[in-house]
Amino acid sequence: MKEYSPSIEKRLSIRNRPEGTPVMHQSWGKLLFMHWQIPIEELRRLIPEPLMIDTFDGEAWIAIMPLTIWDARATFTPPLPLISDFHELNVRTYVHLGGVPGVWFFSLDANSTVAVMAARTLFSLPYYNANINLEQENKTIIYNLSRKDETAKFNAKWTIGEDLPKAKPGSLDFFLIERYCLYTSNEEKLYRCRINHEPWALQEANLSTYDSSMIEANGLQTPIGEPLLHCGGPVDVDVWSLEEL
């Protein structure tokens, strides 16, 4: 299958707010984008057709993204104590179908059993239960994750730096960061899920320490070289229901 990349017009149009009413609201912050280039064929064997690998200048990318989620709730319901706030980490790459760019998640870890069960049931996403601890002093974050089945870990320390301009359409930053839908599958059917939020507020990121097996736990090779780093958020997010494709 020959891979290609959607037009800038397609990438901009997906940022428009979808019709209808979202089913969920969340807020995201304390987010670190860690991106590496990865061979297309390494991804292709793990992503179902007819999804196509999304590329920038012919190169595919993979990411690790630790973040904090709060105020997670169904639309028109209040947040629930001890349930609506949790930490998460996802491993993702970028795909498209019919010219619509989006995200493919290899795995998502959270320290909320309720969030894991809900996401697996309602959104067919590969969530795992994990022990996650986040400590923050001023702009420095220490993030430690251990998957409860002991198959993956992530430990990192980073500092949030100066504000950056919002990602410019057509740039690598825009390609990697400005994503407004996800694709998922239950092995029988393929789905798309739309989200909507303001363009990401970005900051410089300075990574002090890093040790992870999150990518390798998904059957992928260890990325080569240092990651491209950004901090992001906070951002308020609306989530729509799955659309069968």
84's enclosing H/E stretch is: none
Q: Tell me, what's the pLDDT at 3?
A: 65
| Per-residue buried b or exposed e for 42-73, using 16+ beta carbons within 10 Å of the residue's own CB | bbeeeeeeebbbbbbeeebbbbbbbbbbbebe
**Centroid of chain to Cα 174:** 14
pLDDT at 177 over 60: yes
Q: pLDDT-based confidence at 81, cuts 50/70/90?
A: confident
Q: What is the rounded average pLDDT of the residues 231-239?
A: 98
pLDDT at 1 over 60: no
Q: Tell me, what's the pLDDT at 5?
A: 84
Hey, CA dihedral for 95, 97, 101, 107, is it positive or negative? negative
Give this prediction's pTM.
0.96
For the chain, what is the mean pLDDT?
96
Q: Tell me, what's the pLDDT at 83?
A: 85
Phi-psi region of 76 (alpha: psi -120 to 50; beta: other; left: phi over 0): left
DSSP secondary structure of 135-146: EEETTEEEEEEE
